[in-house]
Structure 1
Amino acid sequence: MKKIAPYIWKLKPLQWIRRIRGFRLVYTPLLAIIIFTGVMGIILGALQLQEKDQQESALYRELSIAKQRIQLRFTNNVDVLQSMGRDYVSINNSSNVKSAFISQAENLLQSNREIAQILWIDESSQRQWIAPTINLKRDWFNHPDNAPVISAALKKTIELSAATNRPAFSQFITLKIPTNESTAREVRHIFWQTIPQVSENETKGMVAVLYTAQGLLDLIPGELKSQYRFTLLTDNEKVLAISSDKNTPRRAFSNQTTLDMGVLSPNLILRIDTYPPATNLTFRMLIGVVLGLSAFVIWSLWSVLKQMQVRQEVEATLRAETNFRSAMENSTPVGIRAHDMNRAITYVNPAFCEMTGWSAAELIGLEPPFPFWPEAQKNDLSERMNLALELSKNQEKKIGMEGSIVNRNGTILQTRTFIAPLINEKGQQTGWVTSLIDISEPKKIREELAASQDRFITVLEGLDAAVSVVSKESGELLFANRFYRERFGGNAQGHFELAGGNVAQSGEIAPAIESPSLYQESESEEIQLLDESTGASKWYEVRRRFVPWVDGDIAQLLIATDITIRIEANELMRQQEERMQFSSRLTTMGEMASSLAHELNQPLSAISNYCMGVIKRLQGNLDPSLQTDIIPALQKASDQAYRAGTIIQRIKGFVKRSEPQRKPSDINEIVNDAVGLVEIEAHRHRFSITAKVTENLPLVDIDPVLILQVLVNLLKNSLDSLREVYPLSSRWSAPSVTISADLDTSTFPAMLRIQVTDAGAGIAETVIERMFEPFFSTKNDGMGMGLNICRSVIESHQGRLWAKNHMDVEQTKRSGCTFTILLPLEIPGSISNL
């Protein structure tokens, strides 16, 4: 301003007038446009704020409606379930009454999609009934990964409701369900509500309701969900359910509120988001017109003043760009040539002229076949060029192909050519541009390296030992020969197993190879691995060392030789020595069994005599309690003492290899006796036993005591197998052990078939081959004689005993085992004791 002020004061009045008129002509429209734009902006902003307030008010109103619908539904559900519970407690809960109330519960489930299950819990916290009886969702609730979590949450909710005598809610439960499952979204997040039934200040039972978070959103009217997206959240912003997967815009309106469903309800937040509103074309067109007119006037005022300056700048930039491109094309070693639509050469750079030995004037205007192509390949190269040009024209991208050119002096160069369409400023194709790279030397080197590598790999592939190389930093398998791939596959896990380590989570190698010492070979080790394909164990002699890999990193080289045959030979010698020891132990055990039978018979006879004497004395007493309680117990004790003595006599006779004391016996009675003896132990471990005996089975000539002991032993083994699979908390859902008896008509003559089936862990293939051997046991405190004696007893009856595993549907793992006994109905030469 200090520089302009003296100049302004020196102007004459006529000049002042001209200056003011020019200012008015130039700047008055600009000022008017600025004022107009400002006023319109204020008006449009006010309209935008008003519309935003209206949308936020409507959003809050719709959120309140949705909240009221959900809270009202919970209130109605509590009232209905309390009414049902009071009626159920007041009426005798017979089977007909229970069926009626289950029907009411299932009708309530059908009308309320938010409820997944309804249970009745009695005053001792035991489940009496559950609705619905059949449901696909219930399969996921009973899944081994989900059932413990659901039961634990229900238990805590029952305790809270019993302590407060009010309806209580559990925390939210997230189930483990695959995402591709159809019901995954519907039942992934659930929670319990328990409603106590209090009568005379005592809790007579509870109604437990399992709610799904996704089902709560179904309570919201469909017209609201079509306009807004509703989301259920916990207080830590965890998403439980969402009404739609459709994304909302960044500037969408959002509001949220807390769902209060009761005194002991969990923290639950309901959020609402708006979808993009319909486009207001009138409003946007008005904005566009105002802004467009303003911009056009401003641009018109300044375009003339800037046009010359812009043109000069563009010309300078164009000259600099042209010079830069010319310098780049002349200095690059890549050969470049251009073709018109008739495939004639229109441009070549110096690098291309140097490759071919032809000048630019000689090359421009030539059409295929070109003189720099090898004579024998001209037809092939011409067809390949036509195909590449057509592909680049249609796809509008670079197409690369390998070929060769002949220099004018006769030198042949191997090249890689890239072709791209040449597009003018109007977007029309005027030809093609090709670039050629000389790959003669790299290709020669690659061929030599490939030949050397083939020779080296051929030697390694022919070795009868596993050779593998693993990176120390990343744990990646860098090389594996044929023997390694056949035994361990194409990953590095086999390498780490042979090295005695595993892959760390971060990708680094386990401590077995953490301290490298280049080229220092470790001592050979003998490693035992399990062959997953055959289930047999393999032994390997392993040697390893650290070597630098081709990329400069340190890698571990491992060589493993299969020595399974040598180890098996040593194991066979050891087994022969053990069999000799087994024979000696069997002889000693027979002597011990005879001594024990002699020593135990006298105290057992005394126990039986004492019990019978007490019974005789008590029978004269007219006290009813003695007749109903004490005398039957003493009778059973006497019978068990007699049975123990009989068992000892059978074992003594069995050790002496005497024949079983056979007599015609009812297999139904023997099975029931076996179930009765083992059922007490089964109930103690929360298991059950089911007996299935075919009616009207004929009498079988067997020793009932020995057969009973065999069945008791097999039932106990089945219970032990179930205990390994089912923990104490989930045994209520474990399937029962089944013992069945029927006729096997697949053989001639027909035989009696007895089967003991469980759903336990099954028997390993390596164990099932040896489990009937003497002194072989998988239990820490087992003697290994149970199954051996069982098979000997069955074989002494000229029968057979074997075991077979069950496999799951996908044939991937064992899902239980069945022991089968076949006994002949009539044994030739048997003598009846009747």
Structure 2
Amino acid sequence: MSSVPNSPFLLAKANHWRERLARFNDRFSVLAPILSVALFLLAITAALWYLHSEELARERDSLKRNVEYAQQRVRLRLLERQEVLMRLARTISNDDSDASLFQPRAESVLAQSPDLASLTWIDDGRAIVAAAAAPLLPNSLQRRPGEQLSPGDTESGFALTRDLMQPVYVQPAANALGRDAMLELYLPLSDSNGFAGVLLAEFSLDGLIRHAIPNEVSARYAIALLDANQQVLAGQSIPERNSAGQLLPWTNGLEEYQVPVSPVGNGLLLRAQAWRVSPGLLGNMLFWLVAALSLLAAWTLIANWRHLRRRQQAQALLQAEITFRQAMENSMATGMRALDLQGRIIYVNPAFCQMTGWSESELVGTTAPFPYWPDDDRADLNLYLQDELGGNATHMGHQMRVKRKDGTLFDARLYVTPLVDTTGKQSGWMAAMTDITEPNRIRRQLSAAQERFTTVLQALDASVSVAPLGSTELLFANRLYRQWFGDDTRGHLTLVERGATLGTQYSDDSLDTVDGFAGLPTDSLADSVGDQAELYVPNLDKWLEIRSRYLNWVDGRIAQMVIATDITARKHAEDLAASQAERAQTASRLITMGEMASSVAHELNQPLTAISNYCSGMLSRIESGQISTEDLQTALQKTAKQAQRAGQIIQRIRAFVKRSEPNRSWCNVHELVEEALELVEIEARRRRVQLTRYVQPHLPPIHVDPILIEQVLINLMKNAAESVDAAARPLGKRKVDLNVTRASIEGQDCVRFQITDTGSGLPPEVLERLFEAFFSTKQEGMGIGLNLCRSIVESHHGRIQAQNLYNDSLPEGCRFTFWIPI
């Protein structure tokens, strides 16, 4: 008996689960084929991916084995050549060979070693005793006996060989004078006194690849020798595969392998790149065929499923549309009122009832005069109603006053449109009513603000004028404009034309605190960028700052507003300040050269002494008749070279000290740095400080005054040398480094100059006031050097800063950085 009341409940539960199971079966029947196709495509993709990965792994292993084999061949070839050259070096060291016997032996070694480019016998003074070169080496690149090598040519290998007395391989830092990439081998020579020079063997890297790499390796791979910076010195390099300039993600790293070349060291690497790479997974035709068939099957199933769902969705959308329209009608803030053709209210929405305070039952069915009409406006509203029923209502709407049920009034605007039924027949008029009380109040406030704004513009100490483009009409001009230029647009057009000629584009941040658009509607301004210029007006005998902006005038026309401010007093002050700054810069250069006078005198003494010695020697040999024309010509050339060197020093000093107007031009950064270093190196040598520099290649030219920028570089490097000298650093740590690179700083493309010293740094309290005028850490300092440096850099739109360098908590130097925008 107890189960009878529960029977309907059990039946409802059974129907519920039956419906859920049916819906699940429908969904499964649609999704199951799609899922099976997706799993099939995934399985095929995984299989192809696995096979492709296995093939790439085999290619990578083969590449590594071949590269390591080639590296062993190169190593053995270098060791064989080294052994032959060591026997030749021992022959020279044992006095078994002189310059005349060295030539045939060296040529024999070169004939047996096609990868050798030249052999040079150099004594302990870096003078070439004898030299032999391969036949294919150009004459311009061959070394000549009797030449004196400069320390820079052989410093690293020569010094290291002399210290270690062991063979040393050296890879030159750059290919100078058009020489091919070479590998230098220095072998020490000795005699009874110890070190007697070196035997320099130069290997052609191209020849080393051509003769040392097996043919079966070079046929399969592009072989190249790289330096430590991954730059190709010799050999071949395969370009990237795709149009973006990069390898595909799944082949990156599998077609290239590199190993270091021993016994060379020094970052010399042997790299191999495969000529052929296995096709990528996405290039497999089977993959695309399976993918296309799977997508076609999935698209067919989805199309059937969508067709079945469309009919169910149509009914749901119809119900949702009815619910949505009813919700929108009840929630909208605009009041809706419908009249029939006789003028009777047949419908009002909740918003209309809420705005007027009258209920729907109190409004529907009423005729004119309606309850929400004010008593004083009934006659006018009745006339408008007749126009509305006659179809003469304007589409711009009608402004009227509306009376609420409590008697209060508000402003409203009524928009009327015909009401058409489903058969296309007009059955009445639909009106939309909006409350415009607040917009009217805002409009009145804006009108008052506009009046106040006009009053302010009339009282400004700046000329303000507005004129449309392509017209001589003057839309607006304040009192000062009319006082200066009259009542027409000639003054406005003159300012625009001259300002466009002299003006420079500025951002809004560069303007004065007076906003040229104060009070104007910002949503109607044109998007064009404004101009700013300074010009002299002879008729007024004034300097004016001209600022112009384009804007949309109230009638929609594009107009140009020009604001002219009298800056005569400011220009006079700027001219006076520039004159004083120029005198201070000249004084700073004179002070710098005064401090460097003794060093300059010492530097000039060297070429003058050399000139005197050459002249004395020539006179002695001429009197004794022991000089030939060739020797006399050589001595005169050396004398002229020393005289030219002394003249260059004097010209650089005169150009640096000479007072002149700022003259900006496009300058080569490398030349600017070299000219500054010519003066600084004198002071550095006097203080026993080593100057090192790095200037990034291919730097773009900068638009600066070269004398001023040289003054900044000289002042900073001179201060750095004094700091190192004052810190009493040991000789190996007395260094000043100049680093010039291209960088992006604060969103600008700049050339950055960094001067780093190994002094004792600066105290924190000094860093805060370092660039202040008349502040100096030197007892005899005037405190204008760094202040002038900052002024010069900022006048070129750059910035300068200083920071200490620390080793743990101990300062180990200071770095000054300044940058000039490109």
- TM-score w.r.t. the length of structure 2 is 0.36
Q: TM-score, normalised by structure 1?
A: 0.35
